[in-house]
C-alpha cells in the first residue's frame, strides 16, 4: 500500500509539471525534493538522467547505480552540466543535499524542465539501506 501511495504521488508530481508546457520556461521549471523511496520509483522511468555532483574521489567510494559523475566543484561544471538533455527529467544527488540544491538552481536557470533533488543525498540513501556501487 505504501508503495502504491509513493507511485501515485510521483505520478501526480510528474503530471502536474507537464501541464505547464505552454508557460514561460522560468515558470515551467520546478525543483522537487524527493525521498529515497520516491527516487527509486523515478529511476524506473527510461528517460531519467541521474547525476552525482560529488567529487570523483567521493564517487569512487560509492555511488548510485546508473549515475554519471559531474563534479560540482570542477572548473568546467557549468559547461558539463548543460550537455544534459533539458527535456528529460534530471535527478541530482550529492553527499547530503547542499551541492545538489545549488546545481538544481543552476539547471532551473538554464531552462531544464524537470529537476529532482535527492533529499539528504547519498547519506540518506545509504541510511535507508539502499544499494550503492563502487568502482573498486
- How far from the centroid of its chain's Cα atoms is residue 84's Cα? 12
What are the residues whose beta carbons fall under 8 Å from the beta carbon of 78, sequence distance 6 or more?
A: 106
Q: Is residue 132 part of a domain?
A: no
Q: Is residue 8 part of a domain?
A: yes
CATH number of the domain residue 113 falls in: 3.40.250.10
What are the tens digits of pLDDT across the range 38-95?
Answer: 999 999 987 899 999 999 999 999 999 999 999 999 999 999 998 999 999 999 999 9
Q: Look at the chain and report how many structural domains it folds into.
A: 1
Mean pLDDT, the chain, integer: 84
Cβ atoms 53, 93 nearer than 8 A: yes
What domain range is 62 assigned to?
A: 2-127
Amino acid at each position: 500500500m505504501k508503495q502504491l501511495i509513493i507511485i501515485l504521488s510521483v505520478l501526480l508530481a510528474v503530471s502536474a509539471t507537464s501541464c505547464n508546457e505552454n508557460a514561460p520556461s522560468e515558470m515551467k521549471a520546478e525543483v522537487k525534493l524527493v525521498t529515497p523511496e520516491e527516487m527509486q520509483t523515478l529511476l524506473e522511468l527510461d528517460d531519467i538522467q541521474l547525476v552525482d555532483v560529488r567529487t570523483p574521489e567521493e564517487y569512487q567510494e560509492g555511488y548510485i547505480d546508473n549515475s554519471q559523475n559531474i563534479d560540482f566543484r570542477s572548473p568546467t561544471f557549468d559547461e558539463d552540466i548543460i550537455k544534459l538533455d533539458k527535456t528529460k527529467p534530471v535527478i541530482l544527488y550529492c553527499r547530503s543535499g547542499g551541492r545538489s540544491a545549488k546545481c538544481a538552481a543552476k539547471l532551473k536557470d538554464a531552462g531544464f524542465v524537470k529537476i529532482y533533488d535527492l533529499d539528504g543525498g547519498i547519506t540518506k540513501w545509504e541510511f535507508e539501506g539502499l544499494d550503492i556501487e563502487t568502482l573498486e
